[in-house]
């Protein structure tokens, strides 16, 4: 297969849907000789922030001179972004070869898209002989395809209500699924949690005799993005900075630092200079990302209420009082539940379709917005909605795009390609 054929094959696997369980992964791992020896790795789960914590920790390891694998999902613009080594996406010809290996191994096994891509990532990291890999879960943790790894450290970022159709209707149920990555005797670093989620995570860790480092109890931060201090136990690191916007990213950075210092206890040679440099060089597109010479457009992949609250807090921080909101929601999300934190900022809402997968009908977004007495319009394409917002927004009213990573990816590409140059 060439790259194009491999992508067609992988996306064709979506006919098997989302399958939570490890039977396929265990069977396929047994058929792949390269995966018979454990991969040195770190496992990251959570609802919000797990991608940011993963990329931050990978950057710290890379700056310490290690060869580092990073597996995240989904991607913004290219499938290759999901599997990176030292920050560089795996080459297209390697993606094709990896997909072909999975295809041959998966005869008579209904492997899903995420199972296949996870196996590809693990094989790529083994073939490249990475020193360590950072593996982000997809959905949940307990039954997530990534949960066949044998990590030396686990991290669980804030747990909130999302993907309830798969993970449960309460924070306790969802936290129990996320806690499924915790292994016997393996330390776990836990980000800020509601009390209900924290109780579950701490209980599961105790059952597994896993040492816990908990945000606001065992580690914390003070300061701001340009002058940041992080305390982890008796360790105090100051003069740090974080290039990722939003106060919630300082929570993520502190959690990554706590993870790095836990790895240092295990003999992993992570230097304080590496932590310092990682905060400066980290890049994570689509997360509170401004585009335009005068910051006309703010892109954010927030897609649940917890994420939208972080976006709303950032607007306060930036002293933004009015926005033109271009939004579309994936899955079965409730517009009222997800978007309500932005109502008081919205001058107008532009309801647009999400370009990939199941999405909430734009008519449902419009119906909710009208109950809030917000000027609202509906568009056939996301690009049409963004163009209208750019025309109507005043200079001090930025256009905000949020609600789905897939929506942000499409419009980010449109803006970078200049397809909306007449309006942007």
The tens digit of pLDDT for each residue in 254-270 reads 999 999 999 999 999 99
pLDDT average, residue stretch 180-187: 97
pLDDT average, residue stretch 18-35: 90
CA distances from 293 to 170, 395, 409, 424 (A): 43, 12, 19, 9
The 8-class DSSP code of residue 38 comes to: P
pLDDT average, residue stretch 167-183: 88
Query: From start to end of 172-280, where are the E strands?
Result: 188-190, 212-214, 219-223, 228-232, 235-240
Taking all residues of the chain, what is their mean pLDDT, rounded to a whole number?
94
Q: State residue 327 phi and psi, 5-degree precision.
A: -145, 150
CA distances from 287 to 124, 247, 386 (A): 27, 12, 18
**The pLDDT of residue 294:** 81
**Residue 48 is encoded by which pair of tokens?**
């919000």
**The pLDDT of residue 398:** 97
What confidence tens digit (pLDDT) does each residue in 198-233 have? Answer: 999 999 999 999 999 999 999 999 999 999 999 999
**Residue 116 is encoded by which pair of tokens?**
């296949």
pLDDT average, residue stretch 271-295: 95
More confident call, 254 vs 16: 254
Please tell me the number of Cα atoms within 13 Å of 334 on its side-chain side.
Answer: 9
pLDDT of 64 higher than 80: yes
DSSP structure string for 394-408: -TTS-EEEES-HHHH
Share of the chain above pLDDT 70, in %: 96
Strands 68-71 and 41-45, bridge-based pairing: unpaired
pLDDT of 424 higher than 60: no
pLDDT of 299 higher than 80: yes
347 with 373: CB under 8 angstroms? no
**The pLDDT of residue 162:** 62
**The pLDDT of residue 385:** 97
**How many angstroms separate the most distant Cα atoms in the chain?**
60
**The pLDDT of residue 357:** 78
**The pLDDT of residue 139:** 83
Confidence of residue 411 (pLDDT cuts 50, 70, 90): very high
Confidence of residue 1 (pLDDT cuts 50, 70, 90): confident
What confidence tens digit (pLDDT) does each residue in 328-382 have? Answer: 999 888 999 999 999 999 999 999 999 887 889 999 999 999 999 999 999 999 9
Confidence of residue 325 (pLDDT cuts 50, 70, 90): very high
Q: List the domains of the chain with CATH numbers.
A: 3-281 (3.40.1190.10), 289-417 (3.90.190.20)
Strands 41-45 and 153-156, bridge-based pairing: parallel
**Residue 329 is encoded by which pair of tokens?**
């929601």
pLDDT average, residue stretch 278-304: 94
**The pLDDT of residue 19:** 66
Q: How far apart are CA 305 and CA 161, in angstroms?
A: 8
What confidence tens digit (pLDDT) does each residue in 126-170 have? Answer: 999 999 999 999 988 999 999 999 999 999 999 987 655 556 578
**The pLDDT of residue 170:** 87
Question: Strand order in 219-223's β-sheet?
Answer: 219-223, 228-232, 235-240
- pTM, two decimals, is 0.94
Q: How far apart are CA 52 and CA 225, in angstroms?
A: 15
């Amino acid at each position: 297969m060439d790259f194009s054929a491999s992508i067609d094959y992988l996306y064709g696997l979506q006919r098997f849907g989302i399958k939570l369980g490890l039977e396929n992964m265990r069977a396929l791992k047994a058929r792949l000789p390269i995966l018979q020896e454990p991969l040195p790795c770190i496992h990251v789960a959570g609802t919000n922030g797990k991608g940011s914590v993963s990329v931050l920790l990978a950057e710290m390891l890379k700056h310490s001179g290690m060869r580092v694998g990073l597996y995240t999902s989904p991607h913004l613009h290219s499938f290759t972004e999901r599997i990176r080594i030292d920050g560089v996406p795996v080459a297209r010809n390697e993606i094709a070869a990896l997909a072909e290996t999975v295809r041959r191994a998966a005869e008579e096994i209904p492997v899903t898209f995420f199972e296949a891509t996870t196996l590809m990532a693990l094989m790529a990291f083994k073939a490249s002989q990475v020193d360590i890999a950072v593996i982000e879960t997809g959905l949940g943790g307990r039954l997530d395809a990534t949960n066949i790894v044998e990590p030396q450290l686990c991290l669980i970022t804030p747990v909130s209500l999302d993907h309830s159709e798969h993970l449960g209707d309460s924070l306790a149920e969802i936290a129990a699924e996320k806690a499924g990555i915790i292994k016997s005797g393996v330390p776990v670093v836990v980000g800020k949690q509601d009390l209900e989620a924290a109780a579950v995570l701490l209980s599961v860790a105790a059952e597994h005799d896993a040492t816990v480092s908990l945000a606001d109890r065992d580690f914390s931060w003070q300061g701001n993005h340009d002058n940041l201090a992080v305390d982890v136990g008796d360790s105090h690191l100051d003069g740090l900075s974080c290039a990722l916007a939003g106060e919630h990213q300082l929570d993520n950075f502190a959690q990554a630092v706590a993870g790095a210092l836990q790895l240092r206890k295990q003999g992993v040679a992570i230097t304080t200079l590496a932590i310092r440099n990682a905060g400066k060089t980290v890049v994570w597109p689509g997360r509170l990302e401004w585009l335009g010479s005068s910051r006309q457009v703010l892109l954010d992949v927030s897609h649940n209420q917890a994420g939208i609250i972080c976006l709303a807090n950032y607007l306060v921080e930036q002293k933004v009082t009015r926005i033109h909101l271009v939004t579309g929601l994936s899955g079965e999300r409730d517009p009222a539940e997800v978007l309500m934190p932005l109502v008081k900022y919205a001058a107008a809402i532009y309801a647009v379709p999400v370009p990939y997968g199941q999405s909430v009908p734009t008519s449902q977004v419009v119906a909710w917005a009208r109950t809030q007495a917000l000027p609202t319009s509906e568009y056939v394409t996301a690009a049409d909605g963004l163009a209208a917002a750019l025309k109507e927004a005043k200079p001090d009213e930025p256009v905000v795009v949020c609600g789905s990573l897939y929506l942000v990816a499409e419009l980010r590409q449109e803006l970078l390609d200049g397809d909306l140059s007449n309006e942007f």
